[in-house]
Amino acid sequence: MGYVDDQFSQLHKLQDESSPDFVVEVASLFFDDAEKLINSMARALEQPCVDFKQVDSHVHQLKGSSSSIGALRVKNVCIAFRSFCDAQNREGCMRCLQQVSHEYTMLKSKLQTLFRMEQQILAAGGSVPLE
Amino acid sequence: MTVEHVNGDQFPSGLRVLAVDDDPTCLLLLETLLRRCQYHVTTTSQAITALKLLRENKNKFDLVISDVHMPDMDGFKLLELVGLEMDLPVIMLSGNGDPKLVMKGITHGACDYLLKPVRIEELKNIWQHVVRRKKIDAKDQNNSDNQDKPHNGSGQAEGMGNSDQNGKLNKKRKDQNEDEDDEDDEDDHNHEDPTTQKKPRVVWSVELHRKFVAAVNQLGIDKAVPKKILDLMNVEKLTRENVASHLQKYRLYLKRISCVANQQANMVAALGSSDPSYLRMSSVNGLGNYHTVGGPGQFQNSTFRSFPASGMLGRLNAPAGLGMHGLPSSGMIPMRHAQNSDNTTNDQGKFHPALLPGSHSGNILQGMPTSLELDQLQLNKNITSISELPNTKDNTTFHVSSGFPDARIGFGRSTNPLLDVNNNPLFLEGHPQEAHSNKMFGNQSLMSLNSGSSSRLPDHGRCNDNWSSAVQSSGIQPNSFSLGGDYKQPTLHPGHLRDNLSTMALPIGNSPCDVSSLHPLSNRFQDPKADLQFQAVQDAPCRSNVMFSPLNSAVSINGDVGPLGQCLDTNKTFFHRSNEFDSLGQSNFVDHFSMKINEVQRSSMQASSNLKEGYLMGQQKTQGSYISTSVDSLEDLFMSSMVKEVRSYNLAFSSCQNAFINSFYTTLTIIVKNLLNLFNCLLLWFRTKRRKFSI
C-alpha cells in the first residue's frame, strides 16, 4: 500500500503560481499537528485512568488531517485506533498508537525526502511534473 | 446583496465563505480549495471567533463551512446559532461519515454535510446552497405575504409543518449527499420549494432575536405560537412564517441547551407558564366531572351513557367522558360566576364571557361546530342571563368564578359539548327513560339551536329574562321537563322542577351546563323554579340547547331558530315541540308546557339563580337527589320549568344588559376558542417536532 493516496496528488493540483509551496505548507502543518496529536494520545493512554473520549477525539482529528493530506496508511491505522477507543481497549489503543507513530514517522521522512528532491530539481532549473 | 453580486458575471465566484476548523491542515486545505473556486475565504480555527465575525456584520458572509469536531464549541451548536441568528446556509464538514451524524447535521439545519477529505468538486457546488436559499426565501416571502392571513389560523401548524418538512428535506439531502454530493442537493432543494412557505430571508439580528426570545419567554415556550410571537415582537416586514421557522430553530437550540443544567431552569420556567392553561383544563374537567358526579349523575349518567353511545358526548369532554362533562364545566363556570345572582344569567353571563364571547354573537356557533356553538350560545345565554341576575347567593355555582380559566377551558370543553350539542339532544334523549324522546327533543333543540345560533343568544337573553321572572314567580313549574321525555307532566314542581332540571340538565347533555344546573338547583332548592331555572340556565350555556330547547326547541324545533323569546311568544312552538314530544310521548307535555311556560319562566329565573348557587356546590349532592326523583316527574317538571324558565329568562335577558353582556361574552368566547385552537395546534406541532427531533 502506498503511503499517500490520490489526495496527495490533488494537493499538488492546488499548487500553482499563487501558492507555489502549497504542498509543502500543508505537509508541514500536518506534521506539526500530527506530532502534537500523537503526543497527546500517548499522554492520555499513559494515565492510570484513560480518558478514551479524549483519545478518540485526538484520533479523530488525526484521521481528518491525514485524510486531507492523503496519508493513507496513517488514516487506516486511525480507523482501527478509533474502534479500540470505542471498545475502551487500552492494549489495543497502545498498539495502535505505536503503529500510528510508526506510520507517521515513515511518512514524514519520505515526504521530506520528496520535498527535498523537488526543491533540488527546481533549484536546478527543472520542473516537477504534476502527474 | 451577494446574490446580485454573485449573479453577475463572476457568479459563482466572489461568494464569501467563512471556514471554521480547528485542524490547521484541513483549514489550510479548505481555504486553498475555496480560493481555487474563486470564493472569498475567511478562516478561523475557533468557533467563537467565527460567531464574532458573523455577528459583526451579518451581511459579510454568504456561507459558512464548519467542522463538526471542534474543541471550543460543538459544530452542531455553532450550526444552530448561525441558523438562528444569521440564517445563513451552513455546511458541515467532518471526517466522520456516520449517517447518524449526518442526520444530526440535517436536523440542526445544515445545508450540506461534506466528508473529509474535501474535494474541490464538492466545494465548487456549494454556491448552489446560497442561491437556492435566497430564492426560497424570496418565494417564501411572497407566498407568506399572500398566505399569511389564511395561514394564521392553521398557520402555526403549517409553519411547524413547513419547518418539519424543511428538516425532512434536509435530511433527505444529507443522506443522499453521503454518496452523491451535488446532484442530490438540487433535487432535495427542489422538494423544499413547493412544501415550504417561501419567504425572503430574514436576517435575525441580535436585537431581533432578543425581541423574539423576549416574546417567547413572555408567552411561555409551550404556548409560544408564531402568530403571538409576531404580534408581541411587533416588527415590520416580519412574517409569521419567518417567526415560525425561527421558532423551530430556537426550540432546537433550547433543546440542546436544556441538557445543560443551568438552562433547565429556563425551560422549566418557560414550560411553567403554559401550565396554567392545562391546569384550568383539568380543573374544568373536574367541574365537568363534578356535574356528572353530582346528583344528576345518575340521571345524567344514564344520559351520558347514552351519549357516549352516540359518540358525541364522548367528544365533548374527554375528561368528562361525556359531552356533558364538558358542558357542565362550562355551565358550571357560568353558573358559578353567576353565583348568587338569582339570575342565572349572571352566572351564565360570566361564564359566557369566558366561554361565549363568541357564542354570544353567535360566533361560537358559527365558528365551532354548530352544536358547539349552540352550547356556547346557550352558555352565553345562560351566562348572560345569569349575570344579569343578581347573585346573592351561593356561589357554589361559582366555583366557576375561579374558573374563568375554567370557563375558558370549559369553553373549550363546552365547545365540545357544542359539538356534542347535537349529541346533547341525544343526551337528553339519553335520559334513561326516554332516550329517544329525549333525543328527539334534544336533537331538535339542538338543531334549532344550531340554526338559531346567533339568534340563540338573544334568546338566551330572553330566556334569562324569562327565567328571572320565572324565578320570581313561585310557580315551580318544573314542568315535567323531563327531557327524558316524560314531558307529560307539565306541572312544575318546585322540587320536581329541580329534579327535572337536574335531570333535564343531565340528559340534555349539554352536559356540563346541565349537570351543574341540576345540581345547583337541588342545592338551592329554594325555588323549585329556581332549580328549573338553574337547570335551564345552566343548560343554557351548555345545555342551553337543552334547557332552552324546551323553550327554544319548541321554538326552534319548529324551525324557529329564534331565540327563546320565540318560545315565549309562541306557544305553538312549544306545541310543536310538544308534537315532537309527542313522538316522544309527550303530547301532554306540550299543553302543559305552554301553560307552564310562564310559570316556568318565573320559576326558572329563580331556579336558575338558585341553580347557580347550588349548582356548583351542590351539584353533586343535588344530582344525587335529583336522581332519586323519578325521572319522569323530573323530566316533566324540568321541561316545563325549563320552558318557563327559558321564557322568563328570555324576557329578562332581553333587557338592556343583554347586548353588552352578550357582546362581551361573545368576544371572550371567541378569544378563548382561538386560544384553545392555537394551543391545540401548538401541542400537535410540538409533539410532531419532538418526534421529529428525537430521531
Tens-digit pLDDT profile for residues B650-674? 677 677 777 888 899 999 999 999 9
CATH code of B236's domain: 1.10.10.60
Question: Residue B23 is nearest to which of A10, A14, A61, comparing CB atoms?
Answer: A61
CA nearest to B503, candidates B541, B457, B495, B288: B495
Q: Do A26 and B117 touch (CB under 8 A)?
A: no
* Burial class of residue B256 in the structure, from the number of CB atoms within 10 Å of its CB (0-12 exposed, 13-18 middle, 19+ buried): middle
Would the CB atoms of A7 and B117 count as touching at under 8 Å?
Answer: yes
In a domain? residue B71: yes
Domain that holds residue B129: 16-139
Chain B partners within 8 Å of A14 (Cβ): 29, 32-33, 36, 120
Same domain as B129, residue B210: no
pLDDT for residue A17 is more than 60: yes
Which pLDDT belongs to residue B71? 83
- CATH number of the domain where residue B28 is located: 3.40.50.2300
On whether residue B97 sits in a domain, the answer given is: yes
A57 touches chain B (CB under 8 A): yes
> What is the rounded end-to-end Cα distance, in angstroms, of chain B?
37
Q: Is residue B27 part of a domain?
A: yes
Determine, yes or no, domain membership for B242: yes
**Residue B474 covered by a domain:** no
In Å, how far is A38's CA from the nearest CA of chain B? Answer: 14
The 10s digit of each residue's pLDDT in B623-645 is 444 444 455 566 666 677 777 77
Residue B684, pLDDT > 90, answer yes
Domain boundary pick from B252, B267, B282: B267
pLDDT digits (tens, 9 = 90+) for B247-272: 888 888 888 887 775 656 666 666 65
Report pLDDT digits (tens) over A70-112: 888 888 888 888 888 888 888 888 888 888 899 889 989 988 9
Residue B110 inside a domain? The answer is yes
Contacts of A57 in chain B (CB under 8 A): 69
Looking at residue B669, what is its pLDDT?
93
Residues B129 and B214 in one domain: no
Domain match, B134 and B220 both: no
Inter-chain touch A70–B117, beta carbons under 8 Å: yes
Q: How far apart are CA B407 and CA B397, in angstroms?
A: 12
Cα separation, B360 vs B453, whole angstroms: 9
Largest CA distance in chain B: 98
Distance from the A46 Cα atom to the nearest Cα atom in chain B, whole angstroms: 22
pLDDT at B154: 42
b/e B86-116 (16+ beta carbons within 10 angstroms → b):
bbbbbbbbbbeeeeebbbbbbbbbbbbbbbb
Number of domains into which chain B is organized: 2
Q: Please answer yes or no on whether B25 and A60 come within 8 Å at the CB atom.
A: no
- Tell whether B32 and B132 lie within a shared domain: yes
B225 in a structural domain: yes
Q: Could you tell me if A8 lies within 8 Å of chain B, comparing CB atoms?
A: no
Question: From the CA of A26, how many Å to the nearest CA of chain B?
Answer: 6
Cβ–Cβ below 8 Å for A60 and B118: no
Q: Does A101 touch chain B (CB under 8 A)?
A: no
Helices and strands in chain B: count of H runs, count of E runs:
33, 7
B28 and A70: CB-CB below 8 Å?
no
Alpha carbons within 13 A on the beta-carbon side of A74: 30
**Boundary-marking domain end, from B227, B250, B267:** B267
Answer whether residue B53 is part of any domain: yes
**Partner residue facing B23 (CB), from A25, A65, A70:** A65
Q: pLDDT for B81-118, tens place per residue? A: 888 887 788 889 888 888 898 998 888 888 889 888 88
Predicted local confidence at residue B293, as pLDDT: 38
In a shared domain, residues B132 and B221: no
Task: Please state, in angstroms and rounded to a whole number, the distance separating the CA atoms of residues B505 and B510.
Answer: 7
Nearest alpha-carbon partner for B631 in B379, B437, B474: B437
